[in-house]
Amino acid sequence: MNALEVEDVSFAYGAREALRHVGFSLAPGRFAALLGPNGAGKSTLIALLTRLYDLQRGEIRVGGCSLRQTPRPALRQLGVVFQQSTLDLDLSVEQNLRYHAALHGMSRRQANSRIEEELTRQQLTERRGERVRELNGGHRRRIEIARALLHEPRLLLLDEASVGLDPASRLALNRHVRSLCREHGISVLWTTHLLDEVQEEDDLLILHQGHLVASGQAAAISAEHGGDLGDAFHRLTTGPSLPSLQTAPHTGANR
């Protein structure tokens, strides 16, 4: 079963259409990079995946569960690391994780064992008592990943998670997330502006002006559109204008 299925999703902010007939799927254990220039529709798609906005048209399924019809089981299978950190800086690493476990209705016993497992997996066991404020950006991101995985989701969504990290921490984070895919079968959707965070074997999704202009293995997209990924991205996102996004009925979506 696919970790994520997005089918014919369109979305408009009042009269401004932001996504048009977007569809793709993500298999278990795959790393997918979502790329697109400013205004392409990435944040809108993430807002729909996390149910910040309600779907207007189309369908999204997480682990086979419809976000529209069965939002709770669908969201239960989703872990999210938002672009802006949502950790409480004055709480310890462990307190931040306990808070999330409580929100997910875990018993104390279950929380203890899951926190132990995730801290070990993120190599953070020795930092558990430290206040988040005392940790560097790379470690903070790892805590957010540990937190997002606490309830054992199938799909981990990271929205520009490497922003603000130095090059070494950025690389380490990218490698670490890939190891989660390889070793634990978690599927990852990783949004970024940085082409060097994409590898040839990754699934690649390129959004441009609300259209999904490419989807498939990164190596195949590069070969088809230019030779290297930079050329392909450039061609796909600067070519002739796409069919214009039309005016849609007002829906009341706000940001």
Burial class (CB in 10 A: 0-12, 13-18, 19+), 42: buried
Choose between 109 and 255: whose C-beta lies nearer to ligand ATP. Answer: 255
Binding residues (CB under 6 A) for ligand ATP: these are: 13, 16, 18, 36, 38-44, 255
**Smallest gap from residue 19 Cβ to ligand ATP (A):** 8
Cα–Cα distance for residue pair 201/242, rounded to 1 Å: 28
- The runs of H, that is alpha helices, within 1-68 are 42-49
CA distance 202 to 208: 19
Task: Indicate the residue among 82 and 99 with the shorter CB distance to ligand ATP.
Answer: 82
- Shortest Cβ 85–ligand ATP spacing (Å): 17
Q: How far is the CB of 249 from ligand ATP (least distance, A)?
A: 14
- Terminal Cα-to-Cα distance of the chain (whole angstroms): 33
Q: Given the complex with ligand ATP, which of 13 and 82 has the nearer CB atom?
A: 13
Minimum Å gap between C-beta 39 and ligand ATP is 4
Question: Would you say 203 and 216 are in contact if contact means Cβ atoms under 8 Å apart?
Answer: yes
